[in-house]
Amino acid sequence: MSNPSCIIIAITGASASGKSSIASTVHKELCNELGCQEIGIITEDSYYKDQSHLEMTERVKTNYDHPSSMDRDLLIQHLKNLKNGSAVDVPVYSYVEHTRTNETTHFTPKRIVILEGILLLTDERVRQLADISVFVDTPLDICFIRRLQRDMEERGRSLQSVIDQYRATVRPMFLQFIEPSKQYADIVIPRGGKNRIAINMLKAQILHLLNQK
């Protein structure tokens, strides 16, 4: 479902699989080649549902690894707007408060939009809007170690809370929803952000599509 105004690249995989690393690498290198006004990144995490109406004790019970935690309709509308050349206001989500903030990030239309998140390919509408779909295939034990470090250092989580969440939702939801979505990927990248050959192939395909627009 391509549109001349915008190419959407969907990058997915397990939590802490290296999605953000690949997205950042591609973004940085294409910025240098094409100009930063031509490319931008949107994270699926920004589209977690607003929970400001709930008490904190209820917010922390949310299964953030289940598709129902996402405001899919808003994400789809924003992707369609970008495809049509319209700017969008992307929500800002607080991992500490477990809800959206009152702020948004104004995102202007780009020739290339990189969309990264764990549940992207579980939604048929996202798959239809994406011009290239990528699955980052990293062993779960490596993902868990990375997630543990990230959530404690960057998101103020305790060791036990990260372990409990991993056992209760992260691993089961990966097996139920995320791993099966790999079948919809155009490109599967093993070894995450360290796979230089795969990153080069992805960049080459993006530039190929761009030249066809």
130 assigned to a ligand binding site:
no
Residue 2 lies in a domain: no
13 assigned to a ligand binding site:
yes
Residue 130 lies in a domain: yes
18 assigned to a ligand binding site:
yes
What residues make up the domain containing 17? 7-212
17 assigned to a ligand binding site:
yes
pLDDT per residue as tens, the chain (213 positions): 344 579 999 999 999 999 999 999 999 999 999 999 999 999 999 999 999 999 999 998 889 999 999 999 999 999 999 999 999 999 999 988 999 999 999 999 999 999 999 999 999 999 999 999 999 999 999 999 999 999 899 888 899 999 998 999 999 999 999 999 999 999 999 987 789 999 999 999 999 999 987
pTM: 0.92
14 assigned to a ligand binding site:
yes
19 assigned to a ligand binding site:
yes
Residues 53-62: b if buried by 16+ CB within 10 A, e if exposed: eeeeeeeeeb
Sign (positive or negative) of CA dihedral 155, 119, 169, 147: negative
Residue 1 lies in a domain: no
16 assigned to a ligand binding site:
yes
Strand blocks (E) in 44-158: 88-94, 99-107, 112-116, 132-137
H/E segment holding residue 140: helix 140-154
Residue 172 lies in a domain: yes
Residue 105 lies in a domain: yes
- Which residues are registered as beta bridge partners of 88? 107
Residue 11 lies in a domain: yes
Q: What is the CATH number of the domain that holds 27?
A: 3.40.50.300
Q: How many domains does the chain have?
A: 1
